[in-house]
Each structure stands twice: as structure tokens, then as C-alpha cells.
Amino acid sequence: MQIGYCRTSTAEQVAGFEAQEQKLVATGCTRLFREQVSSVAVRGELDAALDFVREGDTLVVTRLDRLARSTTDLLGIVATLERKGVSLRVLDFGGSEVDTKSPTGRMLLTMFAAVAEFERTTMLERQRAGIAKAKAEGRYLGRAPTARAKLVQIRELRAAGLGASEIAAKLNVGRASVYRLLSEDAA
């Protein structure tokens, strides 16, 4: 049995999500596990897929980055699958397909996962260096504080007798931000 797993990081990535689903169904997946969460979040559907697969099954993903967040994560998933007698099939693996049923497929998967993790780490280092440089030059100020910009309205609504939850909902800010700003007033 072929079991498909598709994931996007956000719910706004509709086209990419639908394309993954279509590709998995066209490949012959009879069961799909779907989720729209960041790879660093708890991936309940991935856990469900790993629990669902049985000996002789194949877990199918469209691309490697839809499955694992790092080489260590990937190798852990592959080890779980191997213990259960399940193979992993990646449909788009640099223009070709790879399947862990063969030793060559397992080797390629491990090598490419390491390269992908290296690229991601390098990109994050460059990004951090760029942000540090921009901050030093006074060009990077970070995200604009949304709740603090509404401090006058928060105070007015509080004076009118509204609670923090009501204020937060009315002004579309976080309840914790309302509490924080009101506690600063009290201090």
C-alpha cells in the first residue's frame, strides 16, 4: 500500500498543497495524511502516518523538504520506517525519484539530506549576519509593535470597564499584550 504525506508550512499555500495532493493520488496513494504546519511545529499527521504504515507499505512524499526538517530528523523517520518494514519514496528528488528500498536509494537520500541541511544552515547564518549589519547601521528596526501603537485605545477601553479579553478582541491584539501594557501603567 502506498501512503501519501503532504505538508505546507502555512494555510495560505493552497496551490502547493493541492499540487502535492494531486501528485500523490496520481502516483497511486490510497491514503493521504495532510497538514499545514511548520516543519518545526508538532506534526500530528506525520506522526499518524508513521503509526499507520505497516510492513510492505511505502510512505510517499513529493519532496524531501515536505517530510523532514534536518538530516537527523530524516534519519530518525527513515529508521522508524525501516523498523516497521516500510520504504520511503520521494517523487521529486532533484529531477528524479528515489526509493529507500534499495541501498543506493538510502545512500542518496542521506547524502542529499545532509546537503540540504548544510544549505539551510548556511542561509540562516547569512540571514543573521545581514540582520546584524542592518541593525548596526540603524536600518533594521524589527517588527512594528502593534499593541503599543494602540495603547491610548487600550487605556480608554479599560477605563470604560472592559476586561483584557474584550479589549484584545476589539483591537485585534493579543490578550497578553493588553495585560503587559496595563501592568506597565500600574508600575
pLDDT digits (tens, 9 = 90+) for 112-170: 777 777 887 898 899 999 989 988 888 887 777 778 888 889 889 989 999 888 998 88
Confidence (pTM): 0.62
In DSSP terms, 6 is beta-bridged to 34
Task: For residue 13, report the phi and psi dihedrals to the nearest 5 degrees.
Answer: -85, 60
Question: Which one is catalytic: 9, 38, 102, 165?
Answer: 9
* Cα–Cα dist 4/33, whole Å: 6
9 is catalytic: yes
Length of the chain measured in residues = 187
